[in-house]
């Protein structure tokens, strides 16, 4: 898969027709001057981007709102919860709305590559996987909400991409491919699920994104891709054998000048403790598999950061976009706060040059700049959790946070 720049012409016509019929403006398609090659590469990374359920209902092309949860039978109830918590939502919102202030922050940073964990099926097909209690989906006609943020790669090795069964996964893969969005971590069979997304860079070199998920994040064993069945790249464990398999896959694909990201959906949703197995696995990937960046997610809040042998490890990015407003519980984690991660690597060595984070706050399904006080709360928590790795979190320019590892 190549980058989103080849957005399918016929799909664009179809989307134009659908949105014109609904009286909705087309999303802005960001126009950027062609970047010249430099000695560094900047990546935007995010944790869970969940654009289904309540968010899908306020976008221009909402799907069937019926859901199959113990306490809710309509996705519209999550819209009502958000409105009860923070006030009325405009409906429909345009495709850029949910990104809010994040769009200007991303434009200012001008990252070379943008990678998110897409925590929803993109489908109007399929049946809910009833062994799970929660099912996320976004209508395929709402996929411009990803394109408007110029997302390059969607990681799919997570515990929601198959919420609507194999038919739903098939339409998800087709929808992303048609929209020109690369993906990693799921596919039509085992080989496809293990294959990396290949993202071109200005000048020589590429970014290879390998993605896998762990059962500890809630991925059912039945979702594992096999030689004859579609599914996700479900890692069996965090053993040295698994590291070796990933290393062989990387070495088979990596060319001179490439940078390698391994994106992992692992661990619990709540709590700051990072299992020793996670730190050992991340370090082994850097040592043995020549990985340049470990991109972790599943935790609903940010976790501590490490730099190992000059390479960054983000153990948990926290959620970026979701419809959880108005849901009580876990208030101690400040679940309304989020971070954009901007990681700059040396092109020739993959070593970390800088890692900055932009603090944001979710309200009315929109990302807004966090207050100075909220940014300081995030800084202090991440600083506390990163100290055991020998790293510190400091305040940077323009309200950003920065990793200090030297």
Q: What is the 3-state secondary structure (H, E, C) of the chain?
A: CCCHHHCCHHHHHHHHHHHHHHCCCCCCCCCCCCCCCCCEEEEEEEEEECCCHHHHHHCCCCCCCECCCCCCCECHHHHHHHHHHHCCCCCCCCCCHHHCCHHHHHHHHCCCEEEEEECCEECCCCCCCCCCCCCCEECHHHCHHHHCCCCCEEECCCCCCCCCHHHHHHHHHHHHHHCCCEEECEECCHHHHHCCEEEECCCCCEEEEEEEECHHHCCCHHHECECCECEECECCCCCHHHHHHHHHHHHHHCCCCCEEEEEEECCCCCCCCCCHHHHHHHHHHHHHCCCCEEEEECCCCCCCEEEECCEEEECCCCCCECCCCCCCCCHHHCCCEEEEEEEEEECCCCCEEEEEEEEEEEECCEEEECCHHHHHHHHHHHHHHHHHHCCEEEECHHHCEEEECC
Query: pTM of the prediction?
Result: 0.91
Q: Say if residues 95 and 144 touch (Cβ distance below 8 Å).
A: yes
> Domain spans of the chain?
4-28+41-367
* 335-394 pLDDT, tens digit each: 999 999 999 999 999 999 999 999 999 999 999 999 999 999 999 999 999 999 999 999
Distances (CA, A) of 385 to 45, 127, 170, 314, 344: 19, 41, 39, 12, 22
Closest CA relative to residue 96, chosen from 59, 61, 140, 48: 59
- Mean pLDDT is lowest, of 32-46, 276-290, 353-367, for 32-46
Burial of 299 (0-12, 13-18, 19+ CB in 10 A): buried
pLDDT at 26 over 50: no
pLDDT at 398: 84
Average pLDDT over residues 238-262: 97
Angstrom distance (rounded) from CA 280 to CA 267: 14
| pLDDT for res 28 | 37
Residue 54 reports pLDDT greater than 90: yes
Phi, psi of 260 (to 5 degrees): -120, 125
User: What is the CATH topology of the domain spanning 4-28+41-367?
Assistant: Purple Acid Phosphatase; chain A, domain 2 (3.60.21)
pLDDT in tens, 92-127: 999 999 999 999 999 999 999 999 999 999 999 999
- Classify each residue of 262-285 as buried b or exposed e, where b means 16 or more C-beta atoms within 10 Å of its C-beta: bbbbbbebeebebeeebbebbbbb
Residue 202's pLDDT is 87
pLDDT for residue 90: 92
Provide the phi-psi class of 399: left if phi over 0, else alpha when psi is between -120 and 50, else beta.
left
Tens-digit pLDDT profile for residues 128-162: 998 999 999 999 999 999 999 999 999 999 999 99
pLDDT over 70 (residue 8)? no
Looking at every residue in the chain, the average pLDDT score rounds to: 92
Residue 55, φ and ψ in degrees, nearest 5: -65, -40
Percentage of the chain lying above the pLDDT 90 cut: 88
Give pLDDT, residue 34: 61
């Amino acid at each position: 898969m190549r980058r989103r720049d080849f957005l399918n012409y016929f799909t664009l016509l179809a989307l134009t027709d659908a949105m014109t019929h609904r009286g909705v403006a087309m999303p802005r398609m960001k126009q950027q001057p062609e970047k010249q090659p430099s000695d560094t590469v900047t990546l935007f990374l995010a944790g869970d981007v969940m654009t289904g359920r309540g968010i899908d209902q306020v976008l221009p092309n909402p799907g069937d709102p019926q859901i199959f949860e113990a306490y809710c039978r309509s996705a519209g109830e999550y819209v009502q919860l958000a409105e009860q918590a923070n006030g009325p939502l405009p409906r429909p919102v345009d495709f850029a709305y949910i990104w809010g202030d994040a769009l200007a922050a991303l434009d200012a940073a001008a990252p070379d590559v943008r990678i998110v964990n897409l925590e929803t099926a993109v489908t109007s097909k399929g049946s809910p996987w009833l062994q799970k209690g929660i099912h996320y989906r976004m209508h395929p006609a709402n996929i411009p909400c990803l394109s408007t943020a110029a997302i390059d790669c969607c990681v799919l090795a997570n515990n929601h991409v198959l919420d609507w069964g194999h038919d739903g996964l098939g339409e998800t893969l087709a929808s992303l491919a048609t929209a020109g969005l690369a993906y990693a971590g799921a596919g039509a069979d085992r080989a496809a699920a293990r294959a990396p997304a290949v993202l071109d860079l200005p000048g020589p070199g590429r970014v290879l994104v390998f993605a896998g998920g762990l059962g500890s994040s809630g991925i059912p064993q039945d979702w594992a891709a096999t030689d004859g069945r579609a599914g996700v790249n479900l890692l069996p464990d965090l053993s040295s054998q698994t590291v070796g398999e990933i290393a062989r896959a990387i070495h088979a694909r990596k060319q001179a000048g490439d940078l390698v990201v391994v994106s992992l959906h692992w661990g619990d949703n709540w709590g700051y403790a990072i299992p020793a197995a996670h730190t050992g696995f991340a370090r082994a990937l850097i040592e043995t598999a020549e990985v340049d960046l470990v991109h972790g997610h599943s935790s609903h809040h940010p976790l501590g950061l490490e730099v190992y042998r000059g390479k960054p490890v983000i153990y948990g990015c926290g959620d970026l976009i979701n419809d959880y407003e108005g849901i009580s519980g876990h208030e101690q984690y400040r679940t309304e706060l989020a971070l954009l991660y901007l990681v700059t690597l040396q092109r020739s060595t993959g070593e970390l040059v800088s890692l900055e984070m932009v603090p944001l706050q979710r309200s009315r399904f929109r990302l807004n700049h966090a207050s100075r006080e909220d940014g300081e709360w995030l800084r202090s928590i991440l600083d506390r959790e990163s100290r055991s790795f020998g790293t510190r979190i400091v305040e940077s320019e323009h309200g950003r946070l920065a990793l200090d590892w030297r």
